[in-house]
Amino acid sequence: MSDQRARIAKYVSATPGVHFSALVRELDLAPGQVQYHLRTLRRKQGVAEEHLYGKTHYYPLAYDDRERRVLALLRRETARDVLASLLKHGSARPAAVAEDLDIARSTLEWQLDRLVEQNVVEKRYDSQGRVRLELANRSETARLMGDVVPSLPARMADRFVRLTDRLLDDVAGTEPTDE
């Protein structure tokens, strides 16, 4: 295996779910070079590829299909915070989670759309027909959360969304509502 290919394989193994662009940036390689090596690695069963929400992620082979999708979501800081809040409180009402994290309801709902779609979070209805959020698989979420750390650009992008969602919510004067 070439030196560069080994470097790429090692980086993917240390940062499961890494983006193509992050590989190019962090390893200081040309995009074409990374593309070539990744193609070879995939053919030789060295890395797995997953397309999710318009991004391509790379993983070591240790993760199955579902784990790969969960890991991709766990690379987002706000999604992690939502999941951490649910780990701490068990089942919770959406308004309580938004308040716990001091995020706008719109920020929470955007994250929930994906977390529910990928079956990480479940929406249940209580006896009064109100929504409650619950983790679909507590132990899996806790385990996978430790395997990835969001990158600095990803953190700043998430915080930008948090701040602007909150400011826009304040300007619009919308109060959090419970459906």
Partner 1 sequence: MTANGIGRVAFHVGSALGFDGSGPVLASLLLLGGLTSVVLVVLSAVAFCRRRSRSYLLVTLALGALSIKAFLGGVWMFRLMPVGQHHFFEHGLDLLTAALLGAAVYYARAGSNDGKPSAEEFRSR
CB 133 within 8 A of CB 123: yes
Start-to-end CA span in the chain (Å): 56
Span 131-150, contacts to partner 1 by CB under 8 A = 138, 142-143, 145-146, 149-150
- Residue 49 amino acid letter: E
170 contact partners, CB below 8 Å, separation of at least 6: none
67 lies in the binding site for partner 1 (CB under 8 A): no
Shortest spacing between CB 138 and partner 1, in angstroms: 7
159 lies in the binding site for partner 1 (CB under 8 A): yes
CB 147 within 8 A of CB 16: yes
Shortest spacing between CB 44 and partner 1, in angstroms: 33
Q: Which is nearer to partner 1, 27 or 84 (CB)?
A: 84
In the numeric block, the tokens 């979420």 are attached to 141
List interacting residues with partner 1 (CB under 8 A): 77, 80-81, 83-84, 87-88, 101-102, 138, 142-143, 145-146, 149-150, 152, 155-156, 158-160, 162-163, 166-167, 170-171
